[in-house]
Structure 1
Amino acid sequence: VRGLSSFFNLNPDLSEWKNLHDTKLVIDGNNLIYMLYYSSHLECVYGGDYDRYAAAIRNYFGVFKTCNVEVILVFDGGHDVSDRKLKTCQRRLQDRLTTAKAIARTGAANQKILPILAHDVFKDVVRELGISVMQCSSEADEEITAIANHFGCPVASQDSDFYIFDIAGGFIRLDSIANVPSTIAVGDAKVSALSCRWYHIDHLLAHFPGFDRCLLPLFATLLGNDFVNGSTFENFLGRIKLPKLSKRKLKISKRHTNMIGLLHWLQTATSVEGTISQVLVTLKSGVRDEAEKSIRDAVIRYGTRSSSFVRNFQDGSRLELLNLSGAPFPRWFAEQFFSGVLSPYLLNVAIVHKVFHLTQIDCFEMPSSYACSLPLRKTLYGLVLAAEEGSDVAIEEFDREGKNMVRRLERPSYEVSRFGRLPKLHEIEELDVLTRRRLFDCVFEFDACVLKYPEPLHIMLAVVSYWLHHACSLTNENLLRSLLLNTVLLRLLPRATQSSKKVCGKPRSASDDPNPTNIEEVLLGVQDEQVTQVVIDETCKNFSKFWSRPTHNHARHFDADLVYSCCQLQTCLMFARSINRVLLQPYRDAQFHRLFNGTFLYNFTKELDTRPKPDLFIAEYLGRGSPLEVAFSGFYKEFRSVLPDRCFVRRAVPSRKKKKNRNVRDKHTDEEESEESVVLLTNRFADL
Structure 2
Amino acid sequence: MGVHGLTSYVEGNQQFFTDLKLRNTHLVIDGCSLYFRLYFTTGLDQIRGGDYDAFAKVVQRFFDALSSCNVSPFVVFDGGMDETDKKFKTLRERAQSKIHEAHSLSRGSHGSVLPLLTREVFRQLLCELAVPLVQCISEADFEIASLAHQWRCPVLTNDSDFYIFDLCGGYLPMTFFEWDNVCSKASERYIPARRFTVNRFCSHFNHMNKQLLPLFAVITGNDYTHAKTTEMFFSRVELPIVPRRRGSQSNPRIEGFLRWLSAFTNPVAALEEVLEILGGKQKGNLRKQLTAGIQDYQLPPTSSLAHFFSNSQLQTYDPLKLPAALTSQPEWLLKRITSGSLPPLVLDVLVLRRAILIAQVENSRLPSSHEASLNIRKTIYGLLLLRNAMQGNAGRGQRGRGGGGMKRGALTEQAQRLSAPCFVEEYDRLELNLRRTTVEAQLPTHHPQLSLNTLDQVATSVKLKVLLGTLGVMEHVLQLVVPHLHLPVCVTYFWAHSSTPKPSHSLLQCVVLGLVYGELCRRKVMLEDPLHVCASTAKVCQRLDQLRINSAQRRGVDLGVAHSLSQWQSCMWAGIYLNQLLCFPLHEPRCAWLFSGTLLHGLEAALRGGHQAESLLAGAPDALQLYSTLLGAVQGFVPQDQAAHHTAPFPAAGTSRQRGQGRRQRGAGGRGRHSRRRGGVSASGDLNNRFGMLTCEDESDED
Tell me whether the two structures share a fold, i.e. TM-score over 0.5: yes
CA distance in 1, matches of 2:626, 2:245: 73
Please report how far the alpha carbon of residue 433 of structure 1 lies from its aligned counterpart in structure 2 after TM superposition: 1.1
Q: Given the alignment of the two structures, is residue 125 of structure 1 paired with residue 125 of structure 2, yes or no? A: yes
Residue 195 of structure 2 corresponds to 198
Cα gap change, 1:441/1:221 in structure 2, threshold over 3 Å: closer, same or farther? same
Deviation digits for residues 345-373 of structure 1 (CA, Å, limit 9, x no counterpart): 10000011111111111222211111111
1:298 corresponds in structure 2 to: 293
Is this contact kept in 2: 1:207–1:248, CA < 8 A?
Answer: no
Q: Deviations over 1:24-72 (max 9, x none)?
A: 1011111011100011110011111111111110011110000000011
Q: What amino acid is the match of 1:195?
A: P
Give the CA deviation at 1:241: 3.5
| Gap change, CA 1:442 and 1:236, over 3 Å in 2 | same
1:534 maps to amino acid: A
Q: CA deviation at 1:112?
A: 2.5
Instruction: Report how far residue 191 of structure 1 moved.
Output: 0.8
- Tell me: CA distance 1:157–1:625, structure 2 relative to 1, closer, same or farther (3 Å): closer
SS of equivalent residue, structure 2 residue 434 = strand
Percentage of pairs with the same residue: 27
Change (3 A) 1:85 1:576: same
- Is the alpha carbon distance of 1:15 and 1:468 closer, same or farther for their aligned partners in structure 2, counting shifts above 3 Å? same
Matched, 1:260 2:255: yes
1:424 aligns with 2:424: no
Relative distance call for 1:290 and 1:444 in structure 2 (3 A) is farther
Q: Deviations over 1:422-461 (max 9, x none)?
A: 4121111221111111111111111011443222221111
Q: Pick from 604, 620, 628: which aligns with 1:633?
A: 628
Mark the CA change 1:284 to 1:374 in structure 2 (over 3 Å): closer, same or farther.
farther
How many angstroms apart in 2 are the aligned matches of 1:142 and 1:398?
Answer: 27
Matched residue of 1:362: which SS?
A: coil
Structure 1 577/420 Cα, relative in aligned 2: closer, same or farther at 3 Å?
same
Letter in 2 for 1:461: V
Equivalent position of 1:493 in the other structure: 521
What is residue 439 of structure 2 aligned with on the other side? Answer: 410
8 Å contact kept, 1:240–1:265: no
Report if the CA contact (8 A) 1:399-1:405 is conserved. Answer: yes
Corresponding residue SS for 1:397: strand
> Could you say what secondary structure the match of 2:369 adopts?
coil
- Decide whether the 8 Å contact of 1:491 with 1:516 is kept in 2: no
> Paired residue for 1:677?
none
Alignment CA distance shift 1:42-1:396 (3 Å): same
Report Cα offsets for 1:110-140 as digits up to 9, x if no partner.
Answer: 4321001101100001110000101111111
Q: Does 1:400 align with 2:396?
A: no
The aligned counterpart of 2:615 is 620
2:527 and 2:137 mapped to 1: Cα distance?
A: 34
Task: Say whether residues 1:307 and 2:308 are aligned partners.
Answer: no
Other structure's SS at 2:605 match? helix
Q: 1:445: which partner in 2?
A: 472
In structure 2, the residue matched to 1:658 is: none
Out of 105, 108, 113, the residue aligned to residue 107 of structure 2 is 105
Amino acid aligned to 1:423: L
Which residue in the other structure is 1:96 paired with? 98
**Where does 1:8-47 land on structure 2 (aligned, <5 Å)?**
8-47=10-49
Does the Cα contact within 8 Å between 2:548 and 2:602 map onto a contact in 1?
Answer: yes
Q: Residues of 2 paired with 1:552 and 1:160: CA distance? A: 33
TM-score of the superposed pair, with normalisation by structure 2? 0.81
Partner of 2:600: 601
Moved more, 143-152 or 278-287: 278-287
Summarize the Cα distance change of 1:251–1:76 in structure 2 as closer, same or farther, 3 Å threshold.
same
Q: CA deviation at 1:607?
A: 1.1
Matched residue SS, 1:19: strand
Tell me the matched-pair count.
606
Distance 1:215 1:610 in 2: 66
Moved more, 384-393 or 313-322: 313-322
- Mapped to 2, the partners of 1:480 and 1:270 lie a distance apart of 68
Q: TM-score, normalised by structure 1?
A: 0.83
How many Å apart are 1:269 and its aligned residue? 2.0
Give the match's secondary structure for 2:547.
helix
Q: 1:220-619 alignment to 2 at 5 Å?
A: 220-243=217-240, 245=242, 251-253=248-250, 256-283=251-278, 285=280, 287-305=282-300, 307-312=303-308, 317-320=314-317, 322=322, 324-325=324-325, 327-387=327-387, 389=389, 390=418, 392-414=421-443, 416-417=444-445, 419-451=446-478, 452-493=480-521, 515=526, 528=530, 533-549=534-550, 557-611=556-610, 614=611, 617-619=612-614
CA distance in structure 2 between the partners assigned to 1:77 and 1:221 by the alignment: 23
SS at 2:324 equivalent: coil
Distance, in Å, in 1 between the alignment partners of 2:240 and 2:278 is 23
Unaligned runs of 5+ in 1: 497-512, 519-527, 649-688
Q: For 1:632 and 1:392, how far apart are their aligned partners in 2?
A: 43
- 1:338–1:173 Cα change, 3 Å: same
Contact 1:72-1:132 within 8 A present in 2 as well:
yes
1:214 corresponds in structure 2 to 211
Q: Distance in 2 between matches of 1:373 and 1:599?
A: 23
1:468-501, Cα deviation, whole Å (9 max, x unpaired): 11112111111111111111112323566xxxxx
1:101, CA displacement in angstroms? 1.1
Q: Is the 8 A contact 1:71 1:131 kept in 2?
A: yes
2:57 is matched with 55
Q: Note closer, same or farther for the CA distance 1:299–1:95 as it changes in structure 2 (3 Å cut).
A: same
CA RMSD of aligned residues (A): 2.7
Q: Which amino acid aligns with 1:55?
A: K
Tell me by how many angstroms 1:313 deviates.
5.8
Asked if the contact 1:27/1:157 (under 8 Å) is kept, the reply is: yes
Deviates more, 1:589-598 or 1:27-36: 589-598
Work out the CA distance in 1 between the residues paired with 2:310 and 2:122.
Answer: 28
Q: CA deviation at 1:582?
A: 1.1
Structure 2 spans left out of the alignment, 5+ residues: 390-417, 638-648, 657-703
Call closer, same or farther: CA 1:232–1:476 in 2, change over 3 Å.
same
TM-fit CA distance, 1:292: 2.9
User: Secondary structure at the residue paired with 2:144?
Assistant: helix
Indicate the SS of the match to 1:370: helix
Distance 1:146 1:458, change over 3 A: same
Once the two structures are TM-superposed, the CA of residue 375 in structure 1 deviates from its matched residue by 1.1
1:276 Cα offset (Å): 2.3
